[in-house]
Amino acid sequence: MNAPAVKAAAASLTEGNPAPAFDMPVDGGGRVSLQGLRGKRIVLYFYPKDDTPGCTIEAKDFRDFMTDFQALNTVVVGVSKDDLESHAAFKEKYCLPFPLASDEDGAVCDAYGTWGEKSMYGKTFMGIDRATFLIDEKGIVRRIWRKVKVDNHVKDVLEAIKAL
């Protein structure tokens, strides 16, 4: 798919749409895919970079509520463009009990519309926009949170899962 077609597809991703397929390598070996998780609810959360302040807080929040997610038949998967070595170190440092998927080529970020232009301190650059997608057991996107603010986000996600 060419870049304009990817942008158009991602821009049109809305709640109620089928989730874009994904198949990515994860820390510790193995892969995670939409097809492989069929029958479970999925929280697919995109974050900019391993071991940075906001990303660490978000990951630790998901970690701290993991038993709640498990009780609701929900798998949490973190996604960034960091490599598997970076993911493994981040996961070990903070005892994260969920897979961190590496989207080094950015295909999944493009499909979900989380890759775009950002700015900080007057400089413009390309990066991952923090976003979370709640996917049901049949692969349908049930909730989308874009431009996520970390505070209380995980609690909001849990409430949305309970409401399904």
* Protein fold of 3-163: Glutaredoxin (3.40.30)
> Is residue 1 very low, low, confident or very high in pLDDT (cuts 50, 70, 90)?
very low
pTM here is 0.90
Written as six digits, the tokens of 78 are 């973190």
Q: What is the pLDDT of residue 121?
A: 80
Tokens 């697919």 appear where? 44
Report pLDDT for 11: 54
Cα–Cα separations (whole angstroms), residue 70 to 25, 40, 50, 74, 92? 22, 10, 23, 5, 20
Q: How far apart are CA 91 and CA 94, in angstroms?
A: 6
CA distance 33 to 109: 14
DSSP secondary structure code for residue 121 in this structure: T
The set of catalytic residues is 55
